[in-house]
Amino acid sequence: MFIDTNEIDAIKAFAKTGILKGVTTNPTILSKGNKSRFTQLEELLALGFEEVFVQVLGTTAEEMVADYEAIKTFDANHQLSIKVPVTQQGLEAITRIKGDDSNRIVLGTLIYSADQGVLATIAGCDYLAPYVNRMSNNNIDPLQVISHMRSFIDERAYETKVIAASFKNANQVIDSLTAGAHTATVPPDVFESMMNKDLALKALDVFENDGRSLFLKYGE
Ligand code: E4P
């Protein structure tokens, strides 16, 4: 699982569960931090995750590649994974970034349809990020998009992974994973809601009280 935030304290807390592989950001997320983009990325990298994602800025291939070059200069150890919007210009940028460094992990983002995912897979993306909640808000069936992309990937034996993104509740996460997403990037509030269920916490209280009362009576 991945966490979709720049909130260091939340990331550290959730990392203790041992189930986080990495952190995803986007320009909107980073714009909410009160530090520069690279300072925030430095802090995220220092957490030691396998993958930390940053989205290139720009709408043209030239601008996106130029921003990738700036990211490369900052990220001398090649640790950052790169998110690129899947547009015509973005596909060109993906091809150029992969041509520059085939080992650089590239994620095709802003995916609202399976055809974008298919093209991004052919272009060499390591990950595809379908925007689940945003698709639902626009009357697009995100589960069908995920399942079509997954079939394309599996039938042709690509190694691309679907990392479902844009969530507002836990059901969307589970539906996406069962529809074929390999993994998901989840914001802290949704993560929290997946772990701390009211019914489970209430049942835990009862077990705890009963167990303690037995302990008080007889010890051990
Ligand atoms: C994915 O990588 C994006 O950062 C993110 O999931 C978008 O989510 P939003 O629709 O809540 O902005």
| Ligand 1 center from residue 167 Cα (angstroms) | 7
Ligand 1: distance of its center to the CA of 32 in Å? Answer: 14
Q: Which atom of ligand 1 is nearest to the CA of 133?
A: 10
Out of 32, 83, 98, 168, which one is annotated catalytic?
A: 83
pLDDT per position as a tens digit, 50-103:
999 999 999 999 999 999 999 999 998 888 999 999 999 999 999 999 999 999
Residue 162 is predicted with a pLDDT of: 98
What pLDDT does 177 receive? 98
* CA 107 – CA 84 distance, rounded (Å): 6
Question: Could you give the CA distance from residue 127 to residue 29 in angstroms, rounded to a whole number?
Answer: 19
Nearest-CA residue for ligand 1 atom 5 is 166
Tell me the best of 53, 127, 131 to mutate to test the pocket of ligand 1, counting ligand atoms within 8 Å of each CB and taking the most.
131
pLDDT of residue 220: 77
Active site residue 83: yes
Which residue is closest in CA terms to ligand 1's atom 10?
166
Percent of the chain with pLDDT over 70: 100
Domains, the chain, in order of start with CATH, read: 2-195 (3.20.20.70)
How many residues does the structure list for the chain? 220
CA terminus-to-terminus distance, the chain: 38
State the pLDDT at residue 101: 95
Residue 204: how many other CB atoms lie within 10 Å = 12
C-alpha 142 to ligand 1 mean position (Å): 14
Nearest CA to ligand 1 atom 4: 26
In angstroms, the CA 151 to CA 219 distance is 57
Q: ipTM score here?
A: 0.96
27, 9 in Cβ contact below 8 A? Answer: no
Pick out the chain residues at pLDDT < 50. none
